Amino acid sequence: SLAEKLQDTFDKLRGKGKLTEKDVKAALKEVKMALLEADVNYKVVKDFISKIEERAVGKEVMESLTPGQHVIKIVNEEMQELMGGSKEDIAISSEPPTIIMMVGLQGSGKTTSAGKLARKLSKDGKNPLLVAADVYRPAAIRQLQVLGERLELPVFSMGEDSNPVDIAKGSINYAASHNCDTIILDTAGRLHIDQEMMEELENIKGTVEPDEILLVVDAMTGQDAVNVAKNFDQRLDIDGIVLTKMDGDARGGAALSIKAITGKPIKFAGTGEKLADLETFHPDRMSSRILGMGDVLSLIEKAEKSIDQEKAKALEEKLRKNEFTLEDFMEQMEQVRNMGPMDEILGMIPGMGGAKQLKNMQVDDKQLDYIEAIISSMTPEERRDPEVINGSRRKRIAQGSGTSIQEVNRLLKQFRQIKKMMKQLNSGKMKKGGGLNLP
């Protein structure tokens, strides 16, 4: 992947004590190749590399104590700049409703992103209304209604026989009478840029005057996504971009070129099919992620959102009293899981971005699945006190969870080790804090 290639290049740079101009140029050539392979626009790559070269071959860098780090820092700064510098929020109207219009080609992820955005806004205390203005695909209205039901948010539709402009207009009255402060219009797309589609979108825009036009593009389509964005922007003067399917095998090209080519910022990134899989796009964090410098801030935010503070406190209490059970262990694991797939979480930790390291870690989601299945197959008594689990019970648990006795044994052994470790930690803590012989 792009990240792996760049990290290899930088590892080589770091490894060298002093850098010559030739070293830097060779490294930048590798960066250039990696970017082109990742489907970043050629002109964007050329400008990017020449900017870095200008800054990186100077005396200041070459003679610094850590020239390698210095070059990487410059690449990081320029990459962040390339993606827009800092994060850009969506426009909120001073007078409700705020109208957000989602546009984009068919299949880019408009409807899904409309639902994700509604979820996000509602978590931020807004009262969003989803509007089904795609009347061409038979299942489109239903799809939005299903999302609305799952989110427990209202969906406005007027059926398939209505005109999208009328629907958009009608939704404003509906929002006013239902206390909704934000309208999210899910519009129709086509497979390709198409005159009729653009005219319809222009008509909706002219009629309801949205505060924010968000173009949804599929990151997997690389430079095509960038061309699509250019086209939409010329017709509609969009305000921002939602880059979807960033979880897929995206080569990074769209994320790195789209701002430079269109001048419009990426505001959100879609990172999966679930409603929670939408991240505010931070150019600085994305850049450090691509360069393998980790994304600790996103990780902390994720943890704060998914870890239940009260449960964490209760757990601490149990640990202190040495009452930690397999049930607690499973709950802990579920909380970690809420944060997302293991490899994604580890990818945000500095130095763990490379796939090579991840494979050695052996904490894949499958293993977590096993552990959960095993614990679920135990009786409450067994979970509280695993010492009661004898040979025949182990066999039954293995069968019940679709695993093997070896797997059950391994888990019980791990659990025993964890408990032992906690006991040691606890007694250590007691000595330090609990001793009364203070000077």
Provide the mask over 161-200, with x wherever binding to ligand GDP is found by CB under 6 A and - wherever it is not. Answer: ----------------------------x-----------
Provide the mask over 121-160, with x wherever binding to Mg ion is found by CB under 5 A and - wherever it is not. Answer: -------------------x--------------------
Of 271, 288, 298, 401, the one binding ligand GDP by CB under 6 A:
271
Of 106, 207, 231, 332, the one binding ligand GDP by CB under 6 A:
106
Do the annotations mark residue 396 as ligand-binding?
Answer: no
Q: Does 111 bind Mg ion (CB under 5 A)?
A: yes
Contact (Cβ atoms closer than 8 angstroms) between residue 28 and residue 5: no
For the stretch 286-289, contacts whose Cβ atoms lie closer than 8 Å and that sit 24 or more positions apart, written own/partner, are: 286/80, 286/83, 286/255, 287/76, 287/79, 287/80, 287/83, 288/76, 289/3, 289/347, 289/348, 289/353
DSSP code, position 45: H
Nearer to ligand GDP, 52 or 256 (CB): 256
Q: Does 104 bind ligand GDP (CB under 6 A)?
A: yes
β-sheet bridge partners, residue 129: 183
Contact (Cβ atoms closer than 8 angstroms) between residue 254 and residue 217: yes
Binding positions for ligand GDP, 215-234, rule CB under 6 A: 216
Do the annotations mark residue 110 as ligand-binding?
Answer: yes
The answer to whether the bond into 380 is cis (omega within 30° of 0) is: no
Instruction: Give 241: exposed, middle or buried? Use CB within 10 Å, 0-12, 13-18, 19+.
Output: buried
Nearer to Mg ion, 111 or 244 (CB): 111
Q: Does 98 bind ligand GDP (CB under 6 A)?
A: no
- Give me the residue whose beta carbon is nearest to ligand GDP: 270
Q: Which does 273 bind (CB under 5 to 8 A by kind): ligand GDP, Mg ion, none?
A: ligand GDP
Contact (Cβ atoms closer than 8 angstroms) between residue 131 and residue 98: no
Strands of the sheet containing 98-103, edge to edge, are 155-156, 128-133, 182-187, 98-103, 212-218, 240-244, 266-270, 278-280
| Cα separation, 339 vs 336, whole angstroms | 6
Q: Which does 221 bind (CB under 5 to 8 A by kind): ligand GDP, Mg ion, none?
A: none
Nearer to ligand GDP, 270 or 340 (CB): 270
Minimum distance of ligand GDP from residue 399's CB (angstroms): 35
β-sheet bridge partners, residue 279: 269
Contacting positions for Mg ion (CB under 5 A): 110-111, 140
Contacting positions for ligand GDP (CB under 6 A): 104, 106-112, 189, 216, 244-245, 247-248, 270-273, 277
